[in-house]
Structure 1
Amino acid sequence: SLDETLKFIDAFNIDLKFFDERLYREICGGKLDIVLDNLKAIYEGKNKHGTHLEITTLLINGLNTDENHIRSNCKFVLEELGEEFPIHFSRFFPMHKMRDKSPTNVDYLLRAKEIAVDMGIEYVYLGNMPADNNSYCPNCGELLIARERYCNSDKNRIKDGHCANCGHKLNFVLK
């Protein structure tokens, strides 16, 4: 069972491809409700087993870049997982079976991050693009972790899981 599996896994990053049942079925061959149920179950395992969970959504021009799609995704995170839950929006590049789509417009990713932050999600990251992907304290705005191309270059602003500046408890796994 999933609960038994959670005992052995420290962290998950689950791809939430689309927040639309039709697109999930047509493009992924899966069911959105199963993915959402598993996300909720893994999140519940966080309290029981200490499992860390993050979501990544690959934004693809014309499929899941509209604001309603982004807002639905963020609403699920806020209502089911909490504002301290990390979410990643990644840039799509044409590959494999989707060579007919163009790379995601950077403005869509920047807008997705803006929407998520405005809705109250504390940890929002952008992937596959050169952008500010650093981690900041959601309470005081202090730079906590500076990143460059998927490498952490500075972690000295975190002390025992808290912001060294204001003491805010952070949702980070640093082992």
Structure 2
Amino acid sequence: MTLRPDLAIIASHVNRGARILDVGCGDGALMAALRDQHGCDARGLELDPVNVAAAVGQGLSVIQGDADTDLADYPDDSFDYAILSQTLQTTRRPDWVLEQLLRIGRHAFVSFPNFAHWRVRASLLFGGRMPVTRLLPIAWYATPNIHHVTVDDFRALVKERGIAIEGAWFLSGDQQTGSGMANLLAEHAVFLLRHDR
């Protein structure tokens, strides 16, 4: 099974044998790859019961839960990596969720669609409507996205909170692109973070 490009970036930067918590793990595709190819101890938290059942059906350790409320139940430093892929923008308090990820894990991977990408800007400017794209395929009234985060917004948040960026990768389509003008040119961003405690 081929991983989504942001998940492939995450998988390629996780240490072998690491303890992982994948928050919003979906059907467990990343967890299965980390378990099978990297020997990781991967656990998951997922809101959708259909995805929980699919992940458990693969022999993965996944529980049904909500990132907005259930992360507080995990002890400090219980994982090497906490992962939040394409989920930050769906949470009620992204800042709180980010703090919890870095409390639970020594490092955190966060990936999200960049709402400042030029195609999104052009759709608003020329069409006057919220865009529907390959990475944002659902109309505004049905989307789970409740916060429209950009690369620059995210960088400002982590700087404000004293969170160190250990790595950053940017995607245009399914290909990696440079960090120059990422706020305009990247459709998707992946950050590796560390909290300086």
Asked which structure has the greater RCO (Cα within 8 Å, sep 6+), the reply is 2
TM tier, smaller: 0.3 to 0.5
- Answer 1 or 2: which has greater strand percent: 2
- Tell me the TM-score normalized by structure 1: 0.38
- Tell me the TM-score normalized by structure 2: 0.35
